């Protein structure tokens, strides 16, 4: 369960989720809200694809609202014409939402290709047959992408994209989530270090350029000094 006070954590850049959660845990603890603090402490950082859908729900809520509405239309469709019309609308919305999620990922420096888009699409399909997923999607608080459940509504006129995978053991799932968080944090640290290294290389190149300029200027000054000395000696010799 995600406490209302923690919903805005899912609007943060994904790399800031853990630090934001820990700050909120401390704040709630200091305010004496022990139960809420414990609930927030158990929250896991969303996967990157789930995070992308959360951003769509916050930046383009009208798209998610339209998807929920078209799900209702599909459930109520009483004839092939209405079913086809709503199905076409749903396909368009799935494309728009997936594109918006991919854009959010790219803007944040993450990949939006291949399996990522596939997981996003499957989550949107799963939302049609699972009220919990649909509500999390609508509120922008998904923690992980979902898959099509056995309760997929066949009346929607489309079959699920494949059998749902068996839910992993909760302990294993938590360990995998922690490993993913560490991997993403390591990737973020690597990107930061690359940026620092790039800046350091640029600064080093600037120092080298200045050193070369200084050496050239020093050589030129030395040459000018020698010429001036020779001229002075020549003038002195003539004056005798």
Whether the pLDDT of residue 144 is over 70: the answer is: yes
What is the tens place of the pLDDT at every residue in 98-143? 999 999 999 988 888 778 888 898 888 888 888 888 999 999 999 9
Cβ pair 48, 116 in contact under 8 A: yes
Number of Cα atoms under 13 Å in the Cβ half of residue 22 = 4
* CB 176, CB 182: distance < 8 Å: no
Q: Where are the domains of the chain?
A: 46-165, 168-240
Q: What pTM was computed for the model? A: 0.61
């Amino acid at each position: 369960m995600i406490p209302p006070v923690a919903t805005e954590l899912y609007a943060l850049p994904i790399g800031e989720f853990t630090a934001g959660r820990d700050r909120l845990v401390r704040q709630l603890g200091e305010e004496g809200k022990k139960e809420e603090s414990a609930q927030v402490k158990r929250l896991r950082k969303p996967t990157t694809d789930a995070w992308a859908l959360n951003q769509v729900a916050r930046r383009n809520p009208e798209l998610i609202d339209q998807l929920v509405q078209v799900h209702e239309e599909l459930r109520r469709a009483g004839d092939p014409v209405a079913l086809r019309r709503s199905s076409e609308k749903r396909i368009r919305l799935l494309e728009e939402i997936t594109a918006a999620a991919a854009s959010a990922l790219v803007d944040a420096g993450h990949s939006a290709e291949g399996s990522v888009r596939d997981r996003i699409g499957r989550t949107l399909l799963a939302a049609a047959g699972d009220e919990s997923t649909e509500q999390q999607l609508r509120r922008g608080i998904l923690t992980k992408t979902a898959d099509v459940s056995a309760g997929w509504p066949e009346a929607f006129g489309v079959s699920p994209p494949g059998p749902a995978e068996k839910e992993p053991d909760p302990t294993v799932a938590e360990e995998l989530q922690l490993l993913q968080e560490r991997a993403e944090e390591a990737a973020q640290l690597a990107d930061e270090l690359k940026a620092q290294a790039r800046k350091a290389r640029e600064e080093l190149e600037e120092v080298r350029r200045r050193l070369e300029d200084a050496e050239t200027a020093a050589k030129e000054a030395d040459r000018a000094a020698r010429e001036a000395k020779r001229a002075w000696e020549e003038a002195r010799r003539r004056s005798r």
